[in-house]
């Protein structure tokens, strides 16, 4: 077991009764995020508690499996399947104790793409990131927590620790988005305008932020050529992002340019390109004002001061 020095701050405020008493409530998900975090910090220090927690969690599952199954509507599956292609998958946890050898050379061209952006009319799933963060959160979730715990235990502790980990919500979303850029390749998605890593990460972080905002909204339409286009935005953040499926690639001398079109007329909001297949997305530069229309035009390389062509798509926020 690890030393107690790191844990002084945790045990110090443990004037509440024995943390071990929380084992049942924890397994039943009957603790608040703060309480669960406190219990987890106790778990991180006690092998015995981890065993108990695992067993009680399994016991709770037995309760869950005793409930009569309910057949979901067929629309549910269809909806889900439609969203897979645009829902990025996380890699096995990086600081894993024993990296599972399941990371194969197998197709990495399986199309991870955008943060769960949802399929048009289905509003629910698109908010996965947002829900997770707003509902379960607490500052202890996800990567931060994992990292803060990791150094204090053995590899086994960490492995075990993961089992209890609560959903990372926002952080997972951000990590997923950043993962798209891992290795410098952007998984088939295009932000060719400025392919620096910082830019890509900043884009990904912004997109995750939008998705995790409390007031995330989205609207979908089609481009003049019939590709699906979705605008997702947060009025609170003043940020928006556009996602277009299968947007044709442009010639070397052209870029797609984004515009915020409000009462003052079109304001340039960045350029991007597409490789012609799969979803392409771009968080717009500048600040969105509620009610702005977001437009995309084809402009000479590098963009224009004012639109020089008709928009291929326009979506009102």
Partner 1 sequence: MLDLMTAEFDLDASSTAPSKEELLARVAEGDQSAFGELYDQIAPRVLGLVKRVLIDHAQSEEVTQEIFLEIWQTAARYESQRGGASTWIMTMAHRRAIDRIRSSQAGRDRDTKIGIRDLAVPYDHVAETVEVKIEHERVEKAMSRLTELQRQAVSLSYFSGYSHREVADHLHIPLGTVKTRLRDGLIRLRDELGVAS
Phi and psi at 147, nearest 5°, equal: -70, -35
Residue with Cβ nearer partner 1 (23 or 200): 23
Nearest approach in angstroms of CB 37 to partner 1 is 14
Neighbours of 193 (CB within 10 A): 17
Residue with Cβ nearer partner 1 (5 or 105): 105
Residue found by looking up tokens 């052209």 in the block: 254
Nearest approach in angstroms of CB 93 to partner 1 is 6
Residue with Cβ nearer partner 1 (155 or 265): 155
Residue with Cβ nearer partner 1 (171 or 315): 171
Alpha helix (H) residue ranges in the chain: 8-12, 23-27, 33-43, 47-65, 74-84, 128-136, 142-149, 155-164, 170-179, 197-212
Nearest approach in angstroms of CB 212 to partner 1 is 14
Nearest approach in angstroms of CB 24 to partner 1 is 3
Q: How far apart are CA 289 and CA 262, in angstroms?
A: 8
| Residues 298 and 308 sit within 8 Å (Cβ to Cβ) | no
Residue with Cβ nearer partner 1 (163 or 199): 163
Nearest approach in angstroms of CB 291 to partner 1 is 26
Q: How far apart are CA 174 and CA 190, in angstroms?
A: 18
Q: How far apart are CA 167 and CA 64, in angstroms?
A: 19
């Amino acid at each position: 077991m690890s030393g107690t020095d790191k844990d002084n701050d945790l045990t110090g405020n443990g004037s509440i009764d024995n943390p071990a008493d929380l084992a049942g409530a924890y397994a039943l998900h009957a603790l608040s995020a703060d309480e669960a975090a406190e219990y987890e910090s106790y778990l991180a220090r006690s092998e015995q508690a981890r065993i108990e927690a695992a067993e009680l969690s399994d016991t709770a599952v037995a309760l869950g499996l005793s409930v009569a199954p309910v057949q979901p509507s067929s629309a549910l599956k269809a909806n889900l399947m439609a969203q897979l292609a645009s829902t990025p998958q996380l890699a096995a946890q990086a600081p894993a104790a024993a990296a599972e050898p399941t990371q194969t050379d197998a197709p990495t061209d399986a199309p991870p793409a955008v943060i769960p952006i949802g399929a048009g009319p289905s509003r629910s799933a698109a908010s996965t990131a947002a829900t997770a963060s707003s509902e379960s959160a607490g500052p202890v979730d996800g990567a931060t927590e994992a990292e803060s715990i990791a150094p204090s235990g053995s590899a086994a502790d960490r492995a075990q620790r993961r089992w209890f980990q609560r959903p990372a919500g926002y952080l997972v979303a951000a990590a997923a988005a950043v993962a798209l850029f891992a290795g410098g390749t952007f998984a088939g998605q295009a932000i060719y305008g400025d392919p620096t890593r910082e830019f890509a990460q900043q884009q990904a972080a912004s997109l995750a932020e939008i998705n995790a905002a409390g007031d995330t909204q989205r609207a979908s339409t089609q481009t003049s050529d019939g590709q699906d286009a979705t605008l997702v935005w947060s009025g609170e953040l003043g940020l928006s992002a556009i996602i277009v499926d299968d947007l044709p690639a442009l010639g070397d001398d052209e870029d797609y340019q984004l515009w915020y079109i409000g009462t003052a007329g079109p304001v340039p909001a960045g350029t991007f390109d597409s490789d012609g297949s799969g979803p392409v997305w771009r968080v717009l530069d500048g600040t969105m004002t509620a009610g702005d229309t977001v437009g995309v035009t084809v402009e000479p390389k590098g963009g224009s001061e004012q639109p020089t062509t008709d928009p291929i798509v326009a979506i009102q926020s």
